[in-house]
Amino acid sequence: MRAMSLLMVGALALTAGNLSAESGRQESIERLNMASETLSAMIHTPDKGIPEEVISNAKCIVVVPHLVKGGFVIGAEHGRGVATCRTPEGWSAPAFVSIGGGSWGLQIGVEGVDLVMLVMNDHGLQHMLSSKFKVGADASASAGPVGRHASAGTDWKMDSEILTYSRSKGVFAGISLDGAIVQQDKDSTRAIYRSEPSFRATLAGQIHKPNSTLAFIRAVTSAAHTSAIADAK
């Protein structure tokens, strides 16, 4: 009887573990889908989104859909998203990220905010390839220009390691994220990859793209390709 009870407990624990893993996987897939929609909206909105020149020159793209679910001014909030970087073979498999803390430069209401971070040069890329970095301390960041085209008088292309964008209630704007910590989201990474590949290996293009990530990669590829064509005209 005791042995049977132990077997039943073990079976229930295994079932609970499988259900939890599947729940984490579905949540991560949903985040990938939301990130695809967020990026498309923030690029294709006429005259208010991310400029074509900026997206076509970005080395990495980080998308955090629904950064917060409550109002705040000074951080202590948390968001989860996905990142991908350019490689010689195209955009890398997505790396799952979390972002939190810091002193935020935009008061955000209860609706939540969509966030896009664009890594613009090799210095920013090296920080992105690490498993954890602090915005403002390790990697410089600034609010990116908004509109169909970036002003020729700005220094976004030469000096900015990371450009940041936010969308709240349909309004696009730059956002300051000084002090925010960006690091690997290990739970989501395990849920999708069944292991914990490093940021560097994933974003350098060394990790195979699971089928569940392909819709996000297609959205990034389409956005960057469309912007590059428009920029060349």
| pLDDT of the chain, 233 residues: tens digit per residue | 555 554 444 443 444 344 455 667 899 999 999 999 989 888 877 666 788 888 888 999 999 987 764 444 444 457 899 999 999 999 999 999 998 775 555 444 445 678 898 999 888 888 888 878 888 777 777 777 776 665 544 555 556 788 888 877 656 565 667 778 888 999 999 999 999 999 899 999 999 999 999 999 999 998 877 655 555 55
- The pTM (predicted TM-score) of the whole model is 0.78
First to last CA, the chain: 77
User: What is residue 228's predicted lDDT score, i.e. its pLDDT?
Assistant: 53
Residue type, 129: L
User: What is residue 200's predicted lDDT score, i.e. its pLDDT?
Assistant: 92
User: What is residue 147's predicted lDDT score, i.e. its pLDDT?
Assistant: 66
User: What is residue 151's predicted lDDT score, i.e. its pLDDT?
Assistant: 55
User: What is residue 43's predicted lDDT score, i.e. its pLDDT?
Assistant: 81
User: What is residue 157's predicted lDDT score, i.e. its pLDDT?
Assistant: 56
Q: Where does residue 36 rank: exposed (0-12), middle (13-18), buried (19+ CB within 10 A)?
A: buried
